[in-house]
């Protein structure tokens, strides 16, 4: 199994504490946001198939089960292409004359097998699945994520999924700027290379989120449920 070698310097962890250092969670006001664990990003042979992303499947499923048990919403996003305004991306961003770009766009249209959550993802009937039409879930013109969070009075989000340095990073930054406390899980996010993964963790930790391991996050959740 291909897993990331994580390197997050201690100086970055310490500096980041000045802005994002969360020692407790309230499960009733916390949502687990699982970014784009779709076939297109995980499966071998897919246009964005990635062994690092495939390697976090069990970790993501474990997180989802724990947050469900704690009574927290579990939200799955799917990166989605829609050619109708306002959900359509600007025309200049995707040059469909490039075969690789056209293939990528076609695989992320709703209803395709590639667009679906990967079959190994252990979803539950209580989970929420939303399509997002931008890398950052909060900037999506459909507004689904923020509507779900506001309806449930959520003030804290926990981010896992893929890609670390694209949709996960973008969603963390946007969530922080909208006033949400953000946890970002270093070993439950994945991208194409260790270099990209660690670069994203560094920036996110410095400014936008409390970067934790899965074990640390589950420990905070366990403490919260034990005190309830």
Say if residues 201 and 16 touch (Cβ distance below 8 Å): no
Which is catalytic among the residues 127, 132, 166, 169?
Answer: 132
Which is catalytic among the residues 127, 167, 168, 210?
Answer: 167
Instruction: Please confirm, yes or no, whether 167 is among the known catalytic residues.
Output: yes
Say if residues 145 and 75 touch (Cβ distance below 8 Å): yes
77 forms bridges with which residues in the sheet?
35, 130
Task: Compute the distance between CA of residue 24 and CA of residue 133 in angstroms, rounded to an integer.
Answer: 32
Task: Compute the distance between CA of residue 216 and CA of residue 164 in angstroms, rounded to an integer.
Answer: 18
Which is catalytic among the residues 36, 127, 187, 210?
Answer: 36
Say if residues 32 and 72 touch (Cβ distance below 8 Å): yes
Q: Which two structure tokens, joined as six digits, stand for 8? A: 């997050």
> Which residues are known to be catalytic?
36, 132, 167
């Amino acid at each position: 199994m291909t897993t990331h070698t994580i390197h997050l310097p201690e100086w970055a962890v310490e500096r980041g504490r000045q802005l994002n250092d969360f020692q407790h969670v309230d499960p009733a006001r916390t949502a687990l946001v699982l970014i784009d664990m779709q076939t297109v990003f995980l499966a071998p042979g897919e246009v964005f198939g990635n062994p690092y992303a495939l390697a976090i499947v069990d970790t993501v499923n474990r997180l989802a089960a724990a947050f469900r048990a704690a009574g927290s919403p579990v939200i799955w996003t799917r990166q989605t292409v829609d050619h109708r305004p306002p959900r359509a991306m600007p025309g200049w961003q995707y040059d469909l004359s490039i075969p690789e770009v056209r293939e990528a766009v076609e695989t992320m249209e709703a209803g395709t097998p590639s667009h679906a959550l990967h079959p190994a993802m252990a979803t539950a009937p209580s989970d929420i699945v939303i399509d997002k039409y931008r890398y950052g879930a909060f900037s999506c013109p459909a507004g689904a994520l923020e509507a779900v969070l506001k309806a449930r009075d959520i003030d804290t989000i926990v981010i896992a999924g893929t890609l670390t340095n694209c949709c996960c990073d973008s969603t963390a930054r946007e969530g922080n700027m909208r006033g949400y406390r953000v946890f970002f899980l270093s070993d439950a996010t994945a991208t194409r290379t260790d270099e990209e993964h660690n670069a994203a963790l560094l920036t996110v930790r410095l400014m936008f989120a409390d970067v934790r391991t899965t074990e640390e996050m589950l420990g905070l959740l366990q403490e919260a449920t034990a005190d309830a």
